[in-house]
Amino acid sequence: MEQLAFVLAYALPALGAAFGIGLIGAAALNALGRNPEKLSDIRTLMITAIVFTDALAIIGIVVAFIARAS
């Protein structure tokens, strides 16, 4: 049972991050299709949003490891 809890605590943040990054990419492509001359601004905002999403996933994975160690 402990292994299942660890796997879920490890997998759910990764799944959420993957879903979030997909939504960020889709929104960025939509914005780029509407306003192609703003490529550098859209790219900068997209990368920033992806970094924040990955940070949340990393925090979730670290919490899973800490919970397993205790």
- Given this model, what pLDDT does residue 21 score? 97
Q: What is the CA radius of gyration of the chain?
A: 16
- Given this model, what pLDDT does residue 64 score? 86
The gap from C-alpha 23 to its chain's centroid, in whole angstroms, comes to 10
Kindly give the confidence (pLDDT) of every residue in the chain, 70 residues in length, as a single tens digit, with 9 standing for 90 and above: 778 888 888 899 999 999 999 999 999 999 999 999 999 999 999 999 999 999 999 999 898 888 888 7
- Given this model, what pLDDT does residue 15 score? 94
Closest CA to 60 of 3, 1, 12: 12
Domains of the chain, by residue range, sit at: 2-69
- Given this model, what pLDDT does residue 2 score? 79
Per CATH, the architecture of 2-69 is what?
Up-down Bundle (1.20)
DSSP 69: H
